[in-house]
Every structure is written in structure tokens, then in C-alpha cells.
Amino acid sequence: MTKKGQALSVLMVSTFAFTVCFMVWMMFAVIGIPIKKTLDLNSTQFGILMAMPVLTGSLIRVPLGIWTDKFGGRIVMTVLMASTVPAIWLMTYATAYWHYLSIGLFVGMAGGAFSVGTPYVARWFPRKQQGFAMGIFGMGNAGAALNKFVAPALVVGFGWTMVPKVYAGIMLGTVILFWLFSHSDPTHQVPSHVKFIDQLKSLKDPKVFKYCQYYSIVFGGYVAMSLWMVQYYVGEFGLDIRTAALLAACFSLPGGILRAAGGWLSDKYGAHSMTWWVLWVSWICLFLLSYPQTDLTIATLNGPMTFHLGLNVYLFTTLMFTLGIAWGFGKASVFKYISDDYPHNIGTISGIVGLAGGMGGFLLPIMFGALMDLTGIRSSAFMLMYGVVWVSLIWMYLTEIRRSEFLGKSVPAPVAQN
């Protein structure tokens, strides 16, 4: 097979593998609802339950990225996926809350696949195509939407315990498929004399922390909302689990499949311009989503007059769909920053930035649950995300746009990055 053929094979099989890993990683978004009812969990406990797999999948990203640079993506991805199969199957036999939390930690390793696949795929393509290639691979985020189609059907038809059994079988088949159709290239690995500590020196670069902040929104927020939305639709609009999951997929699906388009646009217009407009669209959507259901009574000359203010299910879903599109573009633009600035250290930097995004996905569902328990307002989750986006917009303006103006490069809008 030619080099180009190998590159395409690696891209396709890696994208499929990441889709399956993400589907497994988001499993609690659906099966967590019947588990919550069975164990009578409050919103905070429910948030912790959903967040546990995200914790492991986040913490393991940095070492996985480094190992990928060192040993190659083929062997690291195969071992990673194979190690999750027993844990997925054991989920069927859990009965106590701590069982689910403990097993969820091991299931969560599937979420680390992103930090393996990103450098693995990127190095098979020339730099001018890396944004698009990483965007194609990132379409595996659509596994969050796939989970919302597959899991509810299994829950309704066979009970929630059938979901981990089916997912374990799918993951095992994916391990075999990946090994058969992936390839290795020793030239893609970092030299043997490069030490672990040398690869972590990039942490001293302040740009890395800025990219971490951006990714904690577009990816961490995406993960958190993907986990939270099914139960939100059930509680806020009184929908059944299958309808709620279908509507929640209107957010998850574009947030996954449009990542490739985001990569192409980032290649063409620059990572900075794309990220800037992604944050502004997010700010507008989250401002509207934050408004709680409100009944307003006004004293008039003719007596009290009551108005109802709030989003119905159609407007809410439209805004979530728009937010999903923006975050799909944003996930690609942040990693375009990385491939531009750190072409020889993609695995390590993607692991660090992926860790930050994953930790956002871990902490945010817990904070969503705690805020709802404290305030009783479901839209408090969007209020929190609105504040986080606001901070990022200010940070980007002060560190990039104001700096350009100070240097005499006045720009009416962010300029494309070359």
C-alpha cells in the first residue's frame, strides 16, 4: 500500500475507533437516568456519577500523548481500547453507588483515545492538511450522539443492563478492526534520547494555558452538556427518555461531525479568527439559554397582568443546535493552534490541552448538579457556562487583539494565523 493509502486507512480506522470510544465514554448520559431513579440520587450525586468516566479519560491524556510520541499510535490505541472491555462488561453487575463510580473510572479510559489519535493521525499528513485531518478524526465526538440513538433503544427494549453488554462487544470488535487496518511509521516517533521531562517543558509556555482555557469550553462544555442534556429535557420539558435523547443529539451530532469543517476553515482562515467568532456565538447562545422559565406579573390600571417568559422546546433545541455547531468548529480551531505552534510536540501538547478540556467535562456536570440543588434553577448550568465564555473572550482580547494594536498592527477583527 502507498504512503497516501496508509494515511487514509489510518485516518478512517482511527476515526471509527474514536467514535466507539466516545460512545462508550458518554454511556452514563443515558443509562445514568434509570440508575438515578433506582438509587434515588440527588442532582449533585448524579453529576458525580456521570463525571467519573470523564475524570479518568482526562487524567490519562497527558501520558497517553507522550507514549504516542514515543511508541507510536497503533500500539498505544490498541492496548488502550482492549483494557476498557472488561470494565464495560462489569458495569452490568454493579448494584451500589460506589460500584458505578469505581467501574466508571476504568470505563473512562476510553476517553483518552483522543490524545492518542490526534498526533497519530496528524503526522500522516502534510502540515497544510493537518487541521482538516485532525478535524476528520475529531468527528469521532459524534459518538456522543450515537450513544443517544443506540442506548435509549436498548434501555427501552431490554433494560439498561443490556447497554454495557452490547458496548463491550462493540469495543472488542473495534480493537480487532483497528489493529488490522492501522499502520506504523517509526519516523513519526520522537527520538529515543528525548526524555519524559523534556516533553513537559512546554508547560512553561503561557500560550498552552490559554489554549487549555479555550478547550475547556469547546470540548469540556461539549462533554458536560452531552452528559447533562438528556436529563435536562426530561426534567424541564417532561419528555420520555427516547424523545429527550433524540433532541439532545441535535446538540451532540453537529458538535462532532462538523469538526472536520472547522478544521478546514481553520486551515483557510487561521485558528485565531475561528476561535474568536466561536466564542462570540457561544456567548450569545448561552445568554439566551440562561434565562429561566419566568412568570412576570405587572400591576396595570386594569388589574394585574401576567406574562410568561421562557424558551419552549423548539427554541431551546435550535439554540443548542447552534451552540453545537460553534463548539464543533472551536474544537478544531484550538487544535489548529497546536499543530501550528508545536509541530514536533503535538502528542504532549494535545495531551495537556486535552486534559484541561476533559477536566472541564469532569467538573462541570458536578457543578451543574450542585447549582441546581442550591438554586432549584435548571438553567443555572447555562449561567455558569456563560460566565466561563465571558472570561475567555476578555482573555483573548487582552492577550491577542490588544497586543496586536500595541505593536501597531491595528485590526478591526482578529486576523488569520499563518
**Separation between Cα atoms, residue 380 and residue 361, nearest integer Å:** 16
102 CB burial (10 A radius; 0-12, 13-18, 19+)? middle
Has residue 122 got a pLDDT over 90?
Answer: no
Least reliable range by pLDDT among 128-142, 281-295, 404-418: 404-418
The DSSP line for 340-384 is HH-TT-HHHHHHHHHHHHHHHHHHHHHHHHHHHHHH--TTHHHHH
Please, which pLDDT band fits residue 406 given cuts at 50, 70 and 90? Answer: very low
Per residue in 197-208, pLDDT tens? 655 566 666 778
Please tell me the least confidently modeled range out of 118-122, 137-141, 199-203. Answer: 199-203
Spatial separation of the C-alpha atoms in residues 211 and 224, rounded to whole Å: 18
Cβ atoms 80, 116 nearer than 8 A: yes
Higher pLDDT, 62 or 345: 62
Q: What is the pLDDT of residue 45?
A: 92
Q: What percent of the chain has pLDDT over 90?
A: 36
Q: Structural domains in the chain?
A: 7-183+203-406 (1.20.1250.20)
- How is residue 204 written as a grid cell? 512553561
User: Does residue 415 or residue 248 have the better pLDDT?
Assistant: 248
Taking 90 as the threshold, does the pLDDT of residue 212 lie above it?
Answer: no
Separation between Cα atoms, residue 214 and residue 97, nearest integer Å? 33
**pLDDT per residue as tens digits for the range 338-395:** 777 776 666 677 778 878 888 888 889 899 999 999 999 999 999 999 999 998 888 8
Q: Is the pLDDT of residue 410 over 50?
A: no
Which tops the pLDDT comparison, 240 or 354?
A: 240
Helix (H, G, I), strand (E, B) or coil at 159: coil
331, three cell numbers: 474544537
Q: Can you tell me the mean pLDDT for 144-155?
A: 89
Question: Alpha carbon of 407 to those of 274, 393, 412: distances in Å?
Answer: 22, 20, 14
**C-alpha count within 13 angstroms, C-beta hemisphere, residue 108:** 27
